[in-house]
Structure 1
Amino acid sequence: MVSRFLTLTDVTEILNVSMPQAYALVHNGDLRAMQIGGRGQWRISQDDLEEYIQRMYSETERRIRRGEREGSTPDKAAAER
């Protein structure tokens, strides 16, 4: 049976990111998650992770079309030109 929810460790493996990066995605609201149990363990639904991945693909495509550099905002990219 496939689990509906993933742990942060699962997310780090799927996205190939570090644990601090995964925590940051959750804490700044980029990746929807919930805490469960007395120890407040984080869980992320597979659907929410897939939505995040698709959103990042879309944002990356938009940035590439605009000619923006990685990590820059539209205002910074315009100023760099």
Structure 2
Amino acid sequence: MARAPGSRSTQREVAAMLAISKVEARQRLRAAVAEGLVEEAIDGSRSAPGRRVFWLTEPKGTVELARLQGALRAP
């Protein structure tokens, strides 16, 4: 997600990028949502209806991006 701001990713895609389980990805993404660094929505497209998608909020600088990366990578 950090590589392509504005793009949307599922928790499965985030888990694959970070080589972690989907459960761990969900927990980390929820923490990032709570911090206001990531937004979450339900995908309404016909190709993937009902899937949760996540994307970066408008980054206000490298500090916020570093916090997001720490939230996604922290154990």
TM-score with structure 1 length normalisation?
Answer: 0.45
Q: Larger Rg: 1 or 2? A: 1
Higher helix fraction: Structure 1 or Structure 2? 1
TM-score with structure 2 length normalisation?
Answer: 0.48
**More RCO (CA 8 Å, sep 6+):** 2
